[in-house]
Structure 1
Amino acid sequence: MELYQHFRKEEYPFIDQVLSWRDHVHTRYEQKVIDFLHPREQRIFQTIIGNDEELQLKFCGGWEKAERKRAILAPFYEKIDAESFELELLQATFPQKFLSIEHPDVLGAFLSAGVKRKKIGDIVIQEDTIQILVAKDITTYLVTNVTAIKNARINFESIPLTKRLVSQDTWQEKTTTCASLRLDVLIKEIYQVSRQQALQLIKKGFVKVNFQTIDQPAFLLEEEDLLSIRGKGRSRITELQGRTKKDKIRITFEKLL
């Protein structure tokens, strides 16, 4: 239980999974390819594996600053390259003149087709082109079953990773101080709203932390947590820098412009 006390209760199942992966690699002496993980899961994974000299842990998400990444846990002596991650880059175009397609539209189409979120990596949309990174084992299913997004006919095809678009996402980094790491307090500081407005956003179910809806204002945030609020965008906690002389917590965060 000493390990679990460093994490949130709702993260215990994932911790159990990581321990299972670790035991698998230790006992079978073979690598384990893990489906896409969000940043908080990646951090937990790294923390648990720690300095185990018998293992190596690698991540790959296609793009340089990919948010979601697949992982490989393997014996220290095994060679791991880009092919080891079993990734496929899919691309499609749509008639930009007649409709607009955004990230939620693409993700929604994939999920509606019965695809699990953990099989899908980052999505990049530029002008009339969509690119999405997926686990290679579902490529055929996706190309066959995802043929429309909104009102547009879509034909996805596999392309080399070398042809990936450059992500246009821009994150602005800022540093601030706050009285605590409570969810309502940090929403107030990061999004420059009143405490009451922050509470209303949480109460209405508009707030997600690491892709999970959180309805508890007292929920405590940690490093690498990704915060998204309907209508107000996304942000992430990048560093907790300790306390100031006035006993406030200094944090660095990034906000998606």
Structure 2
Amino acid sequence: MDIYQHFRKEEHAFIDQVLSWKDDVNRSYRNKLTDFLDPRQQFIVDSLTGKNDDVKVWQFGGGRHSERQRALITPFYEQVQQEDFGLCLLQASYQEKFSTLTHRDVLGTFISLGLKRDKLGDIQVSNGLIQMIVADEIAKFVVLQMTTVKRMKISMEEKPLSAYREQPSVWNEMGRTVSSLRLDTVLKEIYHVSRKEASDYIKKQAVKVNFKLVEDVKFQVCEQDIISVRSKGRSKLVKIEGKTKKR
């Protein structure tokens, strides 16, 4: 069976990468630790690893509800510890009365340092506190270089993961029947807008799928996709139950 038929064409390169990781672990009996993966990538990694495989996949992002996680691919007999995921919690405080900081502000500052998004996990910004999970191999660089956010001076420091004040996202779960999995059709149902309004959001570059800008109204949405629409919030396609019969 062609495994690619179940995934988007643009995901084929990532599939090849995952299969290569599995082969390397099988041959060398050495663990493979990935960068941070978004929920869709996590789903793909799990999908490519069967119960009878000679490898196991473990995923962790620092908290119980982490959205972005690193995957650890190991021989089937291996047992892993939290520290095996190479995570570091960085923390800084700021004065809320002088400025309002957002997730976007912190992410933008991180990217401006020339670092890859794949090295950054979840970000929490609230009550005068910034917390971010990063790959431990870049932690010291971030501490030294990330000294301002939105023109506000901060001082990052490393903290144990046990100090992570995770704020689980609150999702309103609902089921919908849609005529297709086109992005504009799905947006119409989720956000209760007209088909034209949904198309306009996409064409005006206000829609991202898995944190990547999508400008094609015909883009096919898949399980575990994170969809965000500017000013209207985020949603997640958890499961596709099946197709209905046309009458």
The interval holding the TM-score normalised by the smaller chain is over 0.9
Q: Which amino acid aligns with 1:60?
A: F
> Could you tell me how far apart the structure 2 residues matched to 1:5 and 1:166 are?
37
> Could you tell me how far apart the structure 2 residues matched to 1:164 and 1:47 are?
29
Partner of 2:60: 60
Partner of 1:251: none
Alignment partner of 1:241: what SS?
A: coil
More strand by share: 1
Pairing 1:112-151 to 2, within 5 Å after superposition: 112-151=112-151
Q: Which amino acid aligns with 2:208?
A: K
Q: Establish whether residue 191 from structure 1 lines up as the match of residue 215 from structure 2.
A: no
Partner of 2:7: 7
Q: Establish whether residue 86 from structure 1 lines up as the match of residue 54 from structure 2.
A: no
Contact 2:206 2:230 in 1 (8 A): yes
> Could you tell me how far apart the structure 1 residues matched to 2:79 and 2:27 are?
18
Deviation at 1:127, TM superposition (A): 1.0
Gaps of 5+ in 1: 248-257
Contact 2:65 2:168 in 1 (8 A): no
Alignment partner of 1:235: what SS?
A: strand
Pairing 1:193-232 to 2, within 5 Å after superposition: 193-232=193-232
Of residues 47-56 and 203-212 in structure 1, the stretch that sits farther from structure 2 once superposed is 47-56
Deviation at 1:53, TM superposition (A): 3.2
Partner of 1:234: 234
Pairing 1:26-65 to 2, within 5 Å after superposition: 26-65=26-65
Alignment partner of 2:173: what SS?
A: strand
> Could you tell me how far apart the structure 1 residues matched to 2:138 and 2:157 are?
13
Query: Any runs of at least 4 consecutive aligned residues in structure 1 with deviations exceeding 6 A, and if so which?
Result: none
Gaps of 5+ in 2: none
Deviation at 1:6, TM superposition (A): 1.5
> Could you tell me how far apart the structure 2 residues matched to 1:15 and 1:209 are?
18
Q: Which amino acid aligns with 2:41?
A: E
Deviation at 1:246, TM superposition (A): 6.2
Deviation at 1:168, TM superposition (A): 5.0
The normalised TM-score by structure 2 is: 0.96
Q: Which amino acid aligns with 1:111?
A: I
Q: Which amino acid aligns with 2:124?
A: V
Alignment partner of 2:238: what SS?
A: strand
Alignment partner of 2:166: what SS?
A: coil
Deviation at 1:169, TM superposition (A): 2.7
Cα–Cα, structure 1 residues 199 and 21, in superposed 2: closer, same or farther, change >3 Å? Answer: same
> Could you tell me how far apart the structure 2 residues matched to 1:234 and 1:85 are?
27
Q: Which amino acid aligns with 1:148?
A: T
> Could you tell me how far apart the structure 1 residues matched to 2:168 and 2:43 are?
25
> Could you tell me how far apart the structure 1 residues matched to 2:169 and 2:212 are?
22
The normalised TM-score by structure 1 is: 0.93
Cα–Cα, structure 1 residues 21 and 232, in superposed 2: closer, same or farther, change >3 Å? Answer: same
